[in-house]
Structure 1
Amino acid sequence: MTKLEPFYLSSVLLYVKGMTTVRRLKEVSKNTAMAFEMLHINPQNISSGINWLFKTFPNINTIQGPCDYVLREIKKECLYKISWIDSSLSITHANKIKPEIEEKFVK
Protein backbone atom coordinates (compact mmCIF):
# COMPACT_ATOMS: atom_id res chain seq x y z
CA MET A 1 0.00 0.00 0.00
CA THR A 2 1.30 3.44 -0.91
CA LYS A 3 1.18 6.18 1.69
CA LEU A 4 0.20 9.72 0.82
CA GLU A 5 2.64 12.30 2.16
CA PRO A 6 1.33 15.08 4.45
CA PHE A 7 1.99 17.73 1.79
CA TYR A 8 -0.43 16.05 -0.63
CA LEU A 9 -2.94 15.40 2.14
CA SER A 10 -2.94 19.12 2.94
CA SER A 11 -3.86 19.81 -0.69
CA VAL A 12 -6.76 17.37 -0.33
CA LEU A 13 -7.91 19.14 2.84
CA LEU A 14 -8.42 22.38 0.91
CA TYR A 15 -11.28 20.76 -1.01
CA VAL A 16 -13.01 18.86 1.80
CA LYS A 17 -16.67 19.71 2.38
CA GLY A 18 -18.16 19.59 5.83
CA MET A 19 -16.97 19.70 9.41
CA THR A 20 -17.77 16.03 10.04
CA THR A 21 -15.44 14.93 7.25
CA VAL A 22 -12.70 17.17 8.62
CA ARG A 23 -13.07 15.73 12.12
CA ARG A 24 -12.88 12.17 10.79
CA LEU A 25 -9.87 12.89 8.61
CA LYS A 26 -7.95 14.38 11.51
CA GLU A 27 -8.20 11.07 13.37
CA VAL A 28 -7.05 8.82 10.51
CA SER A 29 -3.27 8.90 10.99
CA LYS A 30 -0.25 10.92 12.02
CA ASN A 31 0.21 12.02 8.41
CA THR A 32 -3.24 13.56 8.27
CA ALA A 33 -2.66 15.28 11.62
CA MET A 34 0.55 16.73 10.16
CA ALA A 35 -1.37 17.88 7.09
CA PHE A 36 -3.70 19.91 9.32
CA GLU A 37 -0.70 21.63 10.86
CA MET A 38 0.80 22.40 7.44
CA LEU A 39 -2.15 24.43 6.20
CA HIS A 40 -1.88 28.21 6.40
CA ILE A 41 -5.23 28.89 4.72
CA ASN A 42 -8.63 27.53 5.65
CA PRO A 43 -10.58 25.17 3.36
CA GLN A 44 -13.02 27.32 1.43
CA ASN A 45 -15.94 24.87 1.59
CA ILE A 46 -16.15 24.91 5.37
CA SER A 47 -18.31 27.65 6.83
CA SER A 48 -17.95 27.24 10.55
CA GLY A 49 -16.83 29.55 13.30
CA ILE A 50 -13.37 31.03 13.07
CA ASN A 51 -12.57 29.78 16.59
CA TRP A 52 -13.22 26.21 15.38
CA LEU A 53 -10.94 26.84 12.38
CA PHE A 54 -8.09 27.98 14.65
CA LYS A 55 -8.50 24.91 16.85
CA THR A 56 -8.65 22.51 13.92
CA PHE A 57 -5.97 24.18 11.76
CA PRO A 58 -3.53 25.66 14.29
CA ASN A 59 -1.23 27.44 11.83
CA ILE A 60 -3.80 29.34 9.77
CA ASN A 61 -2.75 32.88 8.97
CA THR A 62 -5.03 33.54 5.99
CA ILE A 63 -8.80 33.39 6.23
CA GLN A 64 -10.58 32.75 2.95
CA GLY A 65 -14.30 33.36 2.64
CA PRO A 66 -17.03 35.91 2.01
CA CYS A 67 -16.48 39.31 3.60
CA ASP A 68 -19.76 39.14 5.55
CA TYR A 69 -18.75 35.81 7.12
CA VAL A 70 -15.31 37.08 8.13
CA LEU A 71 -16.61 40.36 9.57
CA ARG A 72 -19.33 38.54 11.52
CA GLU A 73 -17.09 35.79 12.90
CA ILE A 74 -13.77 37.48 13.59
CA LYS A 75 -12.99 38.53 17.14
CA LYS A 76 -10.34 41.01 18.23
CA GLU A 77 -8.43 38.33 20.14
CA CYS A 78 -8.06 36.31 16.90
CA LEU A 79 -7.02 39.29 14.82
CA TYR A 80 -3.32 39.04 15.70
CA LYS A 81 -3.17 35.47 14.29
CA ILE A 82 -4.43 36.56 10.87
CA SER A 83 -2.08 38.07 8.29
CA TRP A 84 -4.52 38.16 5.37
CA ILE A 85 -8.23 37.97 4.72
CA ASP A 86 -9.10 36.83 1.21
CA SER A 87 -12.66 37.44 0.12
CA SER A 88 -11.78 37.85 -3.54
CA LEU A 89 -14.31 35.23 -4.64
CA SER A 90 -17.23 37.30 -3.40
CA ILE A 91 -18.43 40.86 -3.91
CA THR A 92 -17.29 43.10 -1.08
CA HIS A 93 -18.46 46.61 -0.28
CA ALA A 94 -15.52 48.59 1.08
CA ASN A 95 -17.69 50.60 3.47
CA LYS A 96 -18.52 47.42 5.45
CA ILE A 97 -14.88 46.77 6.35
CA LYS A 98 -13.82 48.01 9.77
CA PRO A 99 -10.76 50.31 9.75
CA GLU A 100 -8.84 48.13 12.25
CA ILE A 101 -8.86 45.15 9.87
CA GLU A 102 -8.82 46.98 6.54
CA GLU A 103 -5.07 46.45 5.98
CA LYS A 104 -5.50 42.67 6.30
CA PHE A 105 -7.83 42.36 3.29
CA VAL A 106 -6.30 41.17 0.02
CA LYS A 107 -6.98 43.85 -2.56
Structure 2
Amino acid sequence: MPQYIIYFNQQWVGDHSEEWFRSRGPLANAVVEEIKAAGQYLFAGGLEEDGPIFSADATSGSVLFTDGPYVETKEWLGGLTVVDVPDEATARVWAGKIAEACGWPQEVRVIF
Protein backbone atom coordinates (compact mmCIF):
# COMPACT_ATOMS: atom_id res chain seq x y z
CA MET A 1 0.00 0.00 0.00
CA PRO A 2 1.23 3.52 -0.65
CA GLN A 3 2.38 5.68 2.21
CA TYR A 4 1.44 9.33 2.47
CA ILE A 5 2.76 12.14 4.63
CA ILE A 6 0.16 14.63 5.81
CA TYR A 7 1.80 17.75 7.22
CA PHE A 8 1.48 21.44 7.93
CA ASN A 9 3.76 24.44 8.10
CA GLN A 10 3.73 26.21 11.44
CA GLN A 11 2.82 29.49 9.72
CA TRP A 12 -0.51 27.99 8.57
CA VAL A 13 -1.68 27.63 12.17
CA GLY A 14 -2.59 31.27 12.76
CA ASP A 15 -3.06 33.18 15.99
CA HIS A 16 -5.38 31.56 18.51
CA SER A 17 -5.85 31.59 22.25
CA GLU A 18 -4.30 28.94 24.47
CA GLU A 19 -7.81 27.73 25.24
CA TRP A 20 -8.51 27.27 21.53
CA PHE A 21 -5.34 25.19 21.08
CA ARG A 22 -6.22 23.04 24.12
CA SER A 23 -9.64 22.38 22.58
CA ARG A 24 -8.03 21.04 19.37
CA GLY A 25 -5.81 18.46 21.07
CA PRO A 26 -8.57 15.96 21.90
CA LEU A 27 -9.99 16.31 18.37
CA ALA A 28 -6.62 15.62 16.75
CA ASN A 29 -5.93 12.71 19.13
CA ALA A 30 -9.31 11.20 18.23
CA VAL A 31 -8.39 11.23 14.53
CA VAL A 32 -5.04 9.58 15.26
CA GLU A 33 -6.85 6.88 17.26
CA GLU A 34 -9.25 6.40 14.33
CA ILE A 35 -6.30 5.98 11.93
CA LYS A 36 -4.75 3.45 14.32
CA ALA A 37 -8.04 1.53 14.60
CA ALA A 38 -8.14 1.34 10.79
CA GLY A 39 -4.64 -0.19 10.80
CA GLN A 40 -3.28 2.66 8.67
CA TYR A 41 -1.18 4.56 11.22
CA LEU A 42 2.61 4.71 10.88
CA PHE A 43 3.61 7.87 12.77
CA ALA A 44 2.35 11.26 13.92
CA GLY A 45 3.89 14.10 15.87
CA GLY A 46 4.42 17.81 16.23
CA LEU A 47 7.83 19.40 16.01
CA GLU A 48 9.40 21.45 18.78
CA GLU A 49 9.54 25.03 17.59
CA ASP A 50 12.36 26.23 19.85
CA GLY A 51 14.91 23.49 19.40
CA PRO A 52 17.24 21.93 19.42
CA ILE A 53 17.40 22.50 15.68
CA PHE A 54 20.53 21.66 13.73
CA SER A 55 21.60 20.78 10.22
CA ALA A 56 24.05 18.22 8.84
CA ASP A 57 25.81 19.00 5.55
CA ALA A 58 28.21 16.54 3.89
CA THR A 59 28.56 18.31 0.52
CA SER A 60 32.15 19.40 1.33
CA GLY A 61 33.32 15.81 1.80
CA SER A 62 33.05 15.84 5.59
CA VAL A 63 30.01 16.33 7.75
CA LEU A 64 29.49 19.83 9.10
CA PHE A 65 26.88 20.34 11.82
CA THR A 66 25.40 23.80 12.30
CA ASP A 67 22.76 25.12 14.65
CA GLY A 68 19.46 26.17 13.16
CA PRO A 69 17.77 25.47 9.85
CA TYR A 70 19.90 24.75 6.79
CA VAL A 71 18.48 27.74 4.91
CA GLU A 72 16.71 30.87 6.02
CA THR A 73 13.02 30.35 5.48
CA LYS A 74 9.74 32.02 6.30
CA GLU A 75 8.00 28.66 6.78
CA TRP A 76 8.91 25.52 8.65
CA LEU A 77 7.34 22.17 9.31
CA GLY A 78 5.06 22.16 12.35
CA GLY A 79 3.84 18.57 12.49
CA LEU A 80 3.16 15.48 10.44
CA THR A 81 1.26 12.24 10.17
CA VAL A 82 2.36 9.26 8.08
CA VAL A 83 -0.29 6.78 6.94
CA ASP A 84 -0.18 3.51 5.01
CA VAL A 85 -3.38 3.44 2.97
CA PRO A 86 -4.75 1.58 -0.06
CA ASP A 87 -5.16 4.67 -2.25
CA GLU A 88 -5.15 8.43 -2.63
CA ALA A 89 -8.86 8.64 -1.79
CA THR A 90 -8.18 7.23 1.67
CA ALA A 91 -5.26 9.63 2.18
CA ARG A 92 -7.63 12.46 1.31
CA VAL A 93 -10.11 11.27 3.94
CA TRP A 94 -7.46 11.27 6.67
CA ALA A 95 -6.03 14.63 5.56
CA GLY A 96 -9.51 16.15 5.67
CA LYS A 97 -10.19 14.79 9.13
CA ILE A 98 -6.83 16.03 10.41
CA ALA A 99 -7.44 19.49 8.88
CA GLU A 100 -10.85 19.68 10.54
CA ALA A 101 -9.52 18.51 13.91
CA CYS A 102 -6.51 20.83 13.92
CA GLY A 103 -8.26 23.83 12.42
CA TRP A 104 -5.61 24.61 9.80
CA PRO A 105 -4.63 23.36 6.31
CA GLN A 106 -2.69 20.16 5.67
CA GLU A 107 -0.58 19.23 2.66
CA VAL A 108 -0.34 15.64 1.43
CA ARG A 109 2.42 13.88 -0.52
CA VAL A 110 3.21 10.32 -1.48
CA ILE A 111 6.30 8.80 0.12
CA PHE A 112 8.31 6.68 -2.29
Range of TM-score over shorter length:
under 0.3
More helix by share: 1
Q: Which has the higher contact order (CA 8 A, sep 6+)?
A: 2
Q: TM-score, structure 2 length as denominator?
A: 0.22
Greater share of strand residues, 1 or 2?
2
TM-score between both structures, scaled by the size of structure 1: 0.22
